[in-house]
Amino acid sequence: MTLYMVEWTVRDLTASAAWYATVIGLSVKLTDDANGFILLDGTAGRLSLKRGDPRPGGVRLHFEVADLDRELTRLEASGVRPALPAKSSPEGYRRAVYLDPDGYEIGLFEWVTGG
């Protein structure tokens, strides 16, 4: 069994798809305007966006990055600021948390001890 995608319900499909493309680097794989659906593709998985009432709070997506400081600098230059600043964990990684346009928490992390 393979997880194919995770689905978020979002207010504005276009704005959310643009945010995930610009901030996270996902690409649009499929758009179904009639049904309010966009499928985004990344190297390790997919995120689908469905028009509706957002319900952030229960799930956080985590994206592994090669260099967290480089990503923080890139996003800061684009005017995107973390909701929670970068911090180190005892498990051997560093992470920062961002909020997408609907308030879903998106974590960016890097292993610092070989993970």
- Domain total of the chain: 1
pLDDT at 115: 56
What average pLDDT is seen over the chain?
A: 91
The domain of 86 spans 6-111
Per-residue pLDDT tens over the stretch 60-89: 889 999 999 999 999 999 999 999 889 999
Mean pLDDT, residues 86-115:
91
Residue 33 lies in a domain: yes
State the amino acid at position 13 in one-letter form.
L
94's CB contacts (< 8 A; 6+ apart) are 68, 86, 87, 88, 109, 110, 112
What CATH number did the domain enclosing 41 receive? 3.10.180.10
Residue 1, in any domain of the structure: no
Whole-model pTM?
0.83
Asked if residues 62 and 94 have their Cβ atoms less than 8 Å apart, the reply is no
